[in-house]
Amino acid sequence: MAIRTAGKLFKDLIRQRVISTSIGASRHCSSAATSAPKIPHSSKKGRRLLTGATIGLVIAGGAYVSTVDEATFCGWLFSATKLVNPFFALLDAEKAHTLAVSAAARGWVPREKRPDPPNLGLEVWGRKFSNPVGLAAGFDKNAEAVEGLLGMGFGFVEVGSVTPVPQEGNPKPRIFRLRQEGAIINRCGFNSEGIVAVAKRLGAQHGKRKLETSSTSSPSNDEAKHGGKAGPGILGVNLGKNKSSEDASADYVQGVHTLSQYADYLVINVSSPNTPGLRMLQGRKQLKDLVKRIQAARDEMQWGEEGPPPLLVKIAPDLSKEDLEDIAAVAVALRLDGLIISNTTISRPDPVDKNPVCAEAGGLSGKPLFDLSTNILKEMYMLTRGKIPLIGCGGISSGEDAYKKIRSGATLVQLYTAFAYGGPALIPQIKAELAECLERDGFKSIHEAVGADCR
């Protein structure tokens, strides 16, 4: 099986004319929903590097698989992706991001064949997650690579933020690496191809995934709940507003009407620091009015037995205790399905403040955000008394980090910056380390560990 897998991958690479054809896709200027435009001429160096590395890995893999089983070969493929990371580091941050999304969209990434550790499985919102480790919004803004990203072993993937009308976002450069600190500053500003393009793409992927799932399995009633609407893996859709919009709630409602049919959960993003006035929607009255209108828009649609997708709100880490109390009160009163804690920060905590790049405007993500976002997470867990599922996001780069988020109240966790630096090899590493942490402390499941440090 492993030999056939390597052979198929090599043939696919040749058939797609890897050496002479661009593998890039612009997520910001595409006018077609299902086809990806070529990467600009300036990124040919990155294209050649990635192509050469990919072919090298395939050839080496082909020689290696004859002596190992599929699980061992799968582990080798994930480890081998570390060899590609230095090539991405040579590129401009946004070009590297574009290449990474394009590679995942084309299936030029390893696919996880090994089962997740049993103690990582859990049920949230009536859905069974094979593991609690997800990919945060912002990586796959336009839903180009859902299948490839889920295939790498994430328990769930969140696409977006998606705006109603296509917009370019803020001027470039707008993504800045702080490599030594394991951080990134971005001021992208909701660059998006818009809901129409994303809906077409998700619709095509949705049908394909459902067809593949139905053709490979005949699940029982219990098994049918495993994964999302279209098959294994959970898909979240993060909704944003256009920069020029004067009616934020109308933008979110439009996103709900267009994209909720494909989503296993929806997210209202009111916390990006790169859209003027957006964070004002986190105020008690503003948030209450916004959530009520969006819930009404979602609930007025026709749904099957599974009902409407859960609705979550993503909040900022730069909030006062009073702000957190207001958000918690709204979340409990309106029976919000969950909160994501947190988005990027406008602060520059130590040691980032000593890096000259910290002067760049935008939101900071990565390791320096961990303590701030985890403290906010713990506070929100106590304010909501553990009644609302929380997704911990911000600074996770190891299984121990994910475990600390869970002990602080997170039911699920999300990566972004660490994945951008560490690549696919980080996913199985974090899952394995997280499973070891649970076993070490005597927890038989994720649910047993949620909020352990808040009791």
Just list the catalytic residues: 272
Radius of gyration of the CA atoms of the chain, in A: 21
CA 273 centroid distance within chain: 18
Kind of pairing, strands 183-186 and 363-366?
antiparallel
Burial group, residue 304, by CB count within 10 angstroms (0-12, 13-18, 19+): exposed
Hey, CA dihedral for 121, 124, 128, 131, is it positive or negative?
negative
- By C-alpha distance, which of 214, 267, 263, 232 is closest to 129? 232
Alpha helices in 65-216 (DSSP H): 70-80, 85-89, 93-105, 146-151, 195-216
Number of helices (H) and strands (E) in the chain: give both, helices first: 15, 13
- By C-alpha distance, which of 67, 88, 55 is closest to 2? 67
Tokens of 90: 């040579």
CA–CA separation, 227 and 206 (whole Å): 13
